[in-house]
């Protein structure tokens, strides 16, 4: 209220009281500097008087909003840093596990390769032994066949020679002796 009183005092000094203006009626004031200055003072005064609470409240709300946003951002930053550290730790563990699995796989692969090579060597030796056995049995079969053929050919030659060299009487005497030997007399 003091501002309004002050404004009225300034207006009275300028010679523009409402009582004075009543007698003149409605008119235009072409003194721009006086009227604009007074209008500006009145507007600024009203704005300061009535706008102080509103503006202060708005700025306070804005400051509180900014402070809470900063607090939330710091909290989020700390949480993100914590999550990042945990994920980096998980990544390090996963990499260590992958390295361990890779080394175990290499050891297993070497062991499997050695086992396969050893088995292959055993299979080759067994196949060689089986092939050698087959060769020996084939040789024995062939030798037996050759013996049988040689014996059959020898018998044929002996029979042919006996028929040609022995006469009828010599053959009969030989047969009688064979029968007598078999007969046991």
Are 174 and 128 within one domain? no
Are 80 and 135 within one domain? yes
Pairwise CA distance, residues 133 & 126, whole Å: 10
Please determine, for residue 20, whether its predicted confidence score (pLDDT) is greater than 50.
no
Are 74 and 122 within one domain? yes
pTM over 0.85: no
The tens digit of pLDDT for each residue in 30-59 reads: 665 566 777 788 888 888 887 777 777 888
The dihedrals phi and psi of 165, each to the nearest 5 degrees, come to: -85, -35
The tens digit of pLDDT for each residue in 103-161 reads: 999 999 999 999 999 999 999 999 999 999 999 999 999 999 999 998 888 888 877 87
**Domain range enclosing 167:** 152-183
Q: How many domains does the chain have?
A: 2
- DSSP labels, 128-141: HHHHHHHHHHHHHH
SS3 content of the chain, % helix, strand, coil (to 5): 90, 0, 10
- Range 38-41, long-range pairs (CB < 8 A, 24+ positions): 38/7, 38/10, 38/11, 38/14, 41/7, 41/10
The pLDDT value recorded for residue 33 is 58
- % the chain with pLDDT above 90: 45
Are 140 and 156 within one domain? no
């Amino acid at each position: 209220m003091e501002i309004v009183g002050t404004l009225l005092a300034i207006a009275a000094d300028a010679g523009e009281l409402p009582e004075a203006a009543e007698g003149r009626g409605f008119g235009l004031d072409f003194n721009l500097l006086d009227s604009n200055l007074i209008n500006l003072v009145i507007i600024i005064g009203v704005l300061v008087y009535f706008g102080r609470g509103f503006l202060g409240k708005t700025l306070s709300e804005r400051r509180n909003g900014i402070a809470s946003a900063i607090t939330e951002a710091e909290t989020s930053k700390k949480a993100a840093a914590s999550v990042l550290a945990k994920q980096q730790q998980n990544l390090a563990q996963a990499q260590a596990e992958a390295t361990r699995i890779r080394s175990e796989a290499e050891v297993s692969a070497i062991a499997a390769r050695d086992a396969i090579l050893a088995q292959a060597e055993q299979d080759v030796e067994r196949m060689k032994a089986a092939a050698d056995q087959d060769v020996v049995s084939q040789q024995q079969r062939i030798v037996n066949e050759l013996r049988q053929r040689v014996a059959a050919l020898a018998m044929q030659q002996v029979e042919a020679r006996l028929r040609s060299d022995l006469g009828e009487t010599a053959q009969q005497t030989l047969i009688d002796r064979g029968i007598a030997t078999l007969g046991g007399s």
